[in-house]
């Protein structure tokens, strides 16, 4: 007999939230959760989400372009009157980047640095003056399991995710006394178009899922749930830290025996 799992409900009425990379799986899931709980959400992306929501306004912005980001954040502040939460999520991991450093095209390295690291800087930098005026705000950086430990052939993406985690720590220390909390979330492999595009490079869905002790890929909604809590008053004493939402991936030593492949992946 199944036991009750418990439920959490959030009230974000009146809050203004910025989510980058909103056209993708995790970004849209986060934006949608905030919108469903009453927040006004602004999504920044160069692409267009396949879904829509009455409380989500999508602005076409390249987060790697400082001027575009500054203009968008200024527009949001003027329209909404404040910024309560920023979720830095927009990142790229091109399939062609799965190779040793000396074999990666320089343009791919530049792209990952510009978007994955520079984009986080520009969005936070643009929103922080308003948060300082308010003496309140939360910034959540989406990092990765690669922020803590790596695998072969990700010398471009992995270090950018480690940078995202350290950006959160640095900003948290610098702005704590202004009433601003900054944290990061490190997902494992999540079932998104980004991950599915590189399944072959990661050994296939079965092998990738089986590396996680829970035996499956994560869901975008599971990352959104973590972001929702970290952005809420329930996490009011949480800052300058990272939450690993990785199905146990980080707890398994590289020397550990692999799990038996589940029948569904054979």
Out of 10, 42, 120, 157, which one is annotated catalytic?
157
Token pair listed for 163:
């940078």
8-state DSSP, 240:
S
Token pair listed for 66:
């400082």
| Long-range pairs of 109-113 with CB within 8 A, sequence gap ≥ 24 | 109/156, 111/64, 112/156, 112/157, 112/160, 113/160
Establish whether 161 is a catalytic residue.
Answer: yes
Write the burial class of residue 236 (CB in 10 Å: 0-12 exposed, 13-18 middle, 19+ buried).
exposed
Establish whether 157 is a catalytic residue.
Answer: yes
| DSSP strands (E only) in 5-49 | 16-20, 40-45
Q: How far apart are CA 144 and CA 137, in angstroms?
A: 23
List CB contacts of 102: < 8 A, sequence separation 6 or more: none
Out of 161, 175, 219, 265, which one is annotated catalytic?
161
Q: Name the 3-class secondary structure at 85.
A: strand
Q: Are 244 and 186 in contact (CB under 8 A)?
A: yes
Q: How far apart are CA 176 and CA 166, in angstroms?
A: 15
Active site residues: 157, 161
């Amino acid at each position: 007999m199944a036991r009750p799992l418990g439920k959490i409900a959030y009230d974000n009425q009146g809050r203004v939230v910025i989510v980058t990379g909103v056209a993708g799986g995790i970004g849209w899931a986060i934006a949608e959760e905030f919108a469903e709980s009453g927040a006004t959400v602004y999504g920044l992306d160069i692409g267009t989400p396949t879904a829509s929501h009455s409380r989500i306004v999508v602005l076409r912005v390249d987060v790697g372009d400082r001027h575009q980001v500054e203009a968008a954040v200024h527009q949001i502040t003027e329209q909404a009157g404040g910024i309560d939460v920023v979720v830095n999520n927009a990142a790229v991991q091109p399939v062609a980047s799965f190779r040793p450093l000396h074999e990666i095209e320089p343009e791919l390295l530049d792209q990952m640095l510009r978007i994955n690291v520079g984009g986080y800087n520009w969005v936070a930098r643009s929103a922080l003056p308003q948060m300082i005026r308010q003496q309140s705000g939360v910034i959540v950086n989406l990092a990765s399991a690669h922020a803590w430990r790596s695998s072969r052939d990700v010398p471009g993406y992995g270090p950018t995710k480690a940078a995202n985690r350290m950006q959160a720590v640095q900003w948290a220390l610098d702005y704590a006394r202004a009433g601003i909390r900054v944290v990061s979330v490190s997902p494992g492999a999540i079932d998104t178009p980004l991950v599915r595009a590189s399944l072959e490079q990661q050994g296939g869905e079965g092998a990738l899922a089986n590396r996680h002790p829970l035996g499956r890929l994560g869901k975008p909604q599971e990352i959104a749930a973590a972001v929702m809590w970290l952005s809420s008053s329930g996490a009011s004493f949480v800052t300058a830290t990272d939450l690993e939402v990785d199905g146990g991936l980080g707890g398994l030593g590289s020397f550990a025996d692999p799990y038996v492949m589940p029948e569904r992946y054979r």
